[in-house]
Amino acid sequence: EVQLVESGGGLVQPGGSLRLSCAASGFTVSTNYMSWVRQAPGKGLEWLSVIYSGGGTYYADSVKGRFMTSRDSSKNTLHLQMNSLRVDDTAVYYCAREDWTYHFDYWGQGVLVTVSS
Amino acid sequence: QSDLTQPRSVSGSPGQSVTISCTGTSSDVGGYNSVSWYQQYAGKAPKLMLHDVSKRPSGVPERFSGSKSGNTASLTISGLQAEDEADYYCCSYAGSYNRLFGTGTTVTVL
């Protein structure tokens, strides 16, 4: 059974950093596309980044240069390093497995990140 | 790039059909057959309902169907049921490694 479990969320001050993790089971992270998607309180979904099976990473303009996606093959885990956090980065962050035709077939339960002083 | 445009809300009585539109541009919806739709209940993760415009994953009821014409994709729920009351989001590949979500639509079963 495919499962994705996010962790690492919490409260951080503006300008701070946070690292999210997404532990996968039932499939291999390194041979799949993996994306991060977030949802601000009361708002819609926003795609943030993707890491391809070949290792290439791509980001939405809103987080480019501040966020970095990586993976740990030994732990079958995806990470999102978030730097220079802003109040408007406050959201529930989801990891999702992405099929090669650009749809998200499995999602984690989400983790809340709150950026506030 | 802007979010894809969806109606804020649609409603229907049980058994009726409702259609949600998802309007983009020739650079996203119109340029690729990579449109997907997600159902989201409050406080829960999204769930894939349709992909590649009209393909249903295993376990998704047949009353959910999809289509696309030009720069607009559509999700139709036929034979609306109480459990279909949720938020729905479209998503499209937008080129240059980007993905775009729609603004979201709340479906209300009257």
pLDDT tens for B6-25 read 999 999 999 999 999 999 99
Contacts of residue B17, Cβ cutoff 8 Å, sequence gap at least 6:
B76, B77, B78, B79, B80
List of chain B residues whose C-beta atoms are within 8 Å of the C-beta of residue A60: 98
Which of B28, B40, B99, B101 to mutate against chain A (most A CBs within 10 Å)? Answer: B99
C-alpha dist (Å) from residue A41 to A45, A57, A94: 10, 26, 13
Share of chain B above pLDDT 90, in %: 95
Q: What is the mean pLDDT of residues A67-75?
A: 97
Tens of pLDDT, residue by residue over A74-97, are: 999 999 999 999 999 999 999 999
Q: What is the mean pLDDT of residues B94-106?
A: 95
What is the per-residue pLDDT for B2? 78
**Contact A50/B97, CB-based, under 8 Å?**
yes
Tens of pLDDT, residue by residue over B62-71, are: 999 999 999 9
**Contact B38/A45, CB-based, under 8 Å?**
yes
User: Tokens 């729920």 appear where?
Assistant: B77
pLDDT tier at B1 (50, 70, 90 boundaries)?
A: low
**Contact A102/B102, CB-based, under 8 Å?**
no
Chain A closest CA to B42's CA: distance in Å? 10
What is the per-residue pLDDT for B58? 96
Tens of pLDDT, residue by residue over B25-63, are: 999 999 999 999 999 999 999 999 999 999 999 999 999
Which of A46, A58, A98, A104 to mutate against chain B (most B CBs within 10 Å)? Answer: A104
Tell me B57's DSSP state: P
What is the per-residue pLDDT for A106? 98
List of chain B residues whose C-beta atoms are within 8 Å of the C-beta of residue A104: 36, 38, 46, 48, 91
**Contact B97/A58, CB-based, under 8 Å?**
yes
pLDDT tier at A61 (50, 70, 90 boundaries)?
A: very high
